[in-house]
């Protein structure tokens, strides 16, 4: 069983039945828990016993599809519709919700889809694309990581290896995990052209992986000399793009604390263990991590980030500068 907790953005009315435009309201529904008995993290594949629990009531739902709000590729969204409601439940059949597919659930400013008319109808949504729940950040296999003994591809790093970190020098790797997925939709990696973030060659990360941005732009738009920014929030024509097609292997690397490591001249984060990370990692991986860190469940809500994280609107300013 996989359970994934998200804050949903409410949609006005039942656009699936009315055929009208999908309009996102100002209201949100917090702590909506998706129950996936199969252990899947696929949002677009709704199996027989999948359900969502909101305020103690459990509902069945349909996946309506995905699309870009107002045609803006930086605002990909998925939509679900309640299909059965238990007696006495406050939500009725037809209640529709939007799910922000960018950003990291639990971060300040998530979710952040633009309110109002999405300029989408249910008939416009893509039901065929494989869409996962908003996921955890990770490296793409082949990414060079700076270690005590030079640069190593991330997939060859083992527990016990010492990796150079931006804030604490050499730190010991405590856990490594990997998963292979189809490079489609919000699972497709983000590629940075050489020099975009200090990288020497082409560099790819999962969409939610945060990279370090420093200098005057960070100071002007974020009020800090350096900030972590999700890769998907830095999409820009020519220099930062989503690479769709084939399969991609994502690799997680965990230290005693959240760290910033060197990747081919650029700086980016290690795995940050928060509530969302624990919910979307495979159950076997969670068991391994909890064995290494017995107190982890007690500390996930207060584990400090290695650096300030930029909000999506701040990231948009960084891109445009």
Instruction: Please give the full DSSP string across 161-178, using - where no structure is assigned.
Output: -EEEETTTEEEE--EEEE
- Cα distances from 88 to residues 60, 85, 234, 307, in angstroms, run 15, 8, 44, 45
CB–CB of 15/21 below 8 Å? Answer: yes
Q: Is the pLDDT of residue 42 over 60?
A: yes
**Burial label, 115 (beta-carbon count in 10 A; 0-12, 13-18, 19+):** middle
Placement of tokens 């998963």 in the chain = 179
Query: So what's the pLDDT on residue 65?
Result: 92
Distance between CA 117 and CA 12 in Å, rounded?
Answer: 10
Find out whether the peptide bond into 321 is cis, omega within 30 degrees of 0.
Answer: no
Distance between CA 276 and CA 286 in Å, rounded?
Answer: 12
Query: So what's the pLDDT on residue 290?
Result: 67
Q: What is the mean pLDDT of the chain?
A: 85
Kindly provide the residue ranges of all beta strands, DSSP E only, lying in 148-208, ordered along the sequence: 150-153, 162-165, 169-172, 175-182, 190-192, 203-205
CB atoms within 10 A of CB 90: 9
Q: Would you say how long the chain is, in residues?
A: 321
Global pTM value: 0.69
CB–CB of 125/81 below 8 Å? Answer: no
CB within 8 A of 108, min separation 6: which ones?
A: 309, 311
169-190 burial string, b = 16+ CB within 10 Å, else e? eebebbbbbebebebbbbbbbb
- DSSP letter for 14, please: -
The 10s digit of each residue's pLDDT in 254-307 is 898 889 999 999 999 998 876 555 555 555 666 666 666 666 555 555 567 788
Query: So what's the pLDDT on residue 135?
Result: 62
Q: Is the pLDDT of residue 245 over 80?
A: yes
From 13-22, 38-47, 148-157, 307-316, the region with the lowest mean pLDDT: 38-47
- Cα distances from 152 to residues 141, 148, 192, 263, 265, in angstroms, run 11, 10, 19, 10, 13
Q: Residue 97, by phi and psi: left (phi above 0), alpha (psi -120 to 50) or beta?
A: beta
Query: So what's the pLDDT on residue 56?
Result: 93
- Cα distances from 8 to residues 11, 78, 232, 307, in angstroms, run 9, 10, 20, 26
Give the max Cα distance, the chain. Answer: 63
From 35-39, 165-169, 255-259, 299-303, the region with the lowest mean pLDDT: 299-303
Q: Which strand (E) or helix (H) includes residue 310?
A: none
Reference 240, options 308, 166, 188, 305; nearest CA is 188
């Amino acid at each position: 069983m996989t359970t994934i907790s998200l804050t949903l953005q409410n949609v006005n009315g039942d656009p699936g039945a009315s055929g009208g435009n999908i309009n996102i309201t100002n209201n949100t529904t917090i702590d909506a828990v998706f129950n996936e008995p199969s252990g899947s993290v696929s949002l677009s594949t709704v199996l027989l016993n999948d359900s969502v629990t909101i305020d103690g009531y459990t509902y069945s739902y349909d996946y309506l599809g995905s699309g870009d709000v107002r045609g803006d590729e930086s605002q990909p969204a998925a939509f679900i519709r309640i299909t059965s409601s238990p007696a006495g439940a406050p939500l009725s059949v037809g209640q529709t919700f939007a799910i922000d597919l960018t950003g990291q659930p639990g971060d300040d400013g998530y979710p952040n889809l633009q309110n109002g008319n999405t300029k989408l109808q249910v008939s416009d949504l893509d039901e065929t694309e494989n869409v996962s729940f908003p996921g955890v950040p990770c490296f793409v296999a082949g990414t060079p990581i700076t270690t005590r003994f030079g640069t190593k591809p991330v997939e060859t790093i083992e527990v016990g290896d010492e990796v150079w970190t931006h804030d604490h020098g050499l730190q010991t790797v405590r856990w490594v995990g990997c998963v292979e997925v189809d490079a489609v939709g919000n699972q497709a990696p983000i590629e940075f052209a050489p020099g975009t973030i200090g990288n020497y060659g082409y560099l790819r990360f999962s969409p939610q992986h945060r990279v370090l941005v420093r200098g005057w732009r960070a100071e002007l738009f974020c009020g800090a000399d350096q900030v972590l920014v999700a890769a998907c929030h830095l999409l820009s024509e020519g220099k930062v793009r989503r690479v769709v097609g084939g399969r991609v292997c994502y690799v997680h690397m965990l230290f005693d604390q959240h760290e910033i490591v060197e990747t081919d001249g650029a700086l980016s984060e290690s795995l940050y263990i928060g509530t969302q990370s624990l919910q979307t990692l495979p159950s076997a991986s969670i068991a391994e991590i909890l064995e290494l860190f017995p107190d982890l469940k007690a500390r996930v809500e207060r584990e400090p980030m290695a650096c300030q994280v930029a909000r999506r609107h701040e990231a948009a300013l960084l891109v445009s500068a």
